[in-house]
A and B are shown apart, each in its own frame.
Chain A
Amino acid sequence: GENVEQHPSTLSVQEGDSAVIKCTYSDSASNYFPWYKQELGKGPQLIIDIRSNVGEKKDQRIAVTLNKTAKHFSLHITETQPEDSAVYFCAAPQGGSQGNLIFGKGTKLSVKP
C-alpha cells in the first residue's frame, strides 16, 4: 500500500522568508497529491493539489512541485506571513486517484514576525 513520508516535522522561518516542505510516496500508481493546512482547533483544509500530468502548480504565494520519477512532491510558500503558521499535511491516494488518502505526519510551520 501507499506510504507517505513528510519532512521536516517542524519548521521555523522569519516573516517574508520562504518555506519548503517535502514529501515522498511509495505507490507509483498515485496520481493526485493534495496539501492541507490545519489551524489550531480546526480540521485540515485543502490549500492546493496537483495531478500527475503536470509538474508544478501555483496559487498566489503557494506552489506545489511534483517529480514522478523520484516520487516526491513539495509545497513552497513564498513571502511567509504570521497567518501561515499552522500544521501542513501532504497526502497521496491509496490505489490511484480514487483511493482513500494516506497522510504524512505533518509539518508544524511557525512564522516569526
Chain B
Amino acid sequence: DAGVIQSPRHEVTEMGQEVTLRCKPISGHDYLFWYRQTMMRGLELLIYFNNNVPIDDSGMPEDRFSAKMPNASFSTLKIQPSEPRDSAVYFCASRSVGGYTFGSGTRLTVV
C-alpha cells in the first residue's frame, strides 16, 4: 500500500491566487481528514469526511477555504484567494479501525 498520497509536496504562490491541494486516501478507509499545522497553533482539524460526505467543517477558518471529496479515492482542499497567513503545512489523513494514517503533507507558502 502506497499510503496516503498528497500533492504537491511544496507550493509557493502569490497572495490572491487560488491554491488547490490534493489527497488520495488509503483504499478502504472510510474517513478522510484535512489538518493544518503551524508552529503557533499546532495541528488543527479543518474538515473531515465520512464515506465522501462532509461531517464537520467547523475548523475551516474562512469562506476562502473549501474542500470536496467527489469519490472515495480523491479529495481536494482549495483556498481562494490565498493570503500570507495561510502559509502552513497541510496534512491529509485517512482512517480505518486501525487508526489514522497521515500523508507527507503539502508545505504552502503564500508570498
Contact = CB atoms under 8 A, between A and B. Distances in A.
B99 A49 contact: yes
Contact of A100 (B45, B99, B102, B105): B45
Given A100-B56, A102-B45, A43 B93 contact: yes
Size category of the A interface is: 10 to 19
Contacts, number: 40
B103 interface: yes
Interface residues of B, number: 17
Contacts of B31: 100
- Chain B: interface secondary structure? strand
Contact of B102 (A44, A104, A105): A44
B99 A46 contact: yes
A100 B44 CA distance: 11
A94 to B, nearest CB: 9
Interface of B: 4, 31, 33, 42-43, 45, 48, 56, 91, 93, 99-105
29 contacts: A34-B100, A36-B100, A36-B102, A41-B104, A42-B105, A43-B4, A43-B91, A43-B93, A43-B105, A44-B91, A44-B100, A44-B102, A45-B102, A46-B99, A46-B100, A46-B101, A49-B99, A89-B42, A89-B43, A100-B31, A100-B45, A100-B48, A100-B56, A101-B45, A102-B45, A103-B42, A105-B42, A106-B42, A106-B43
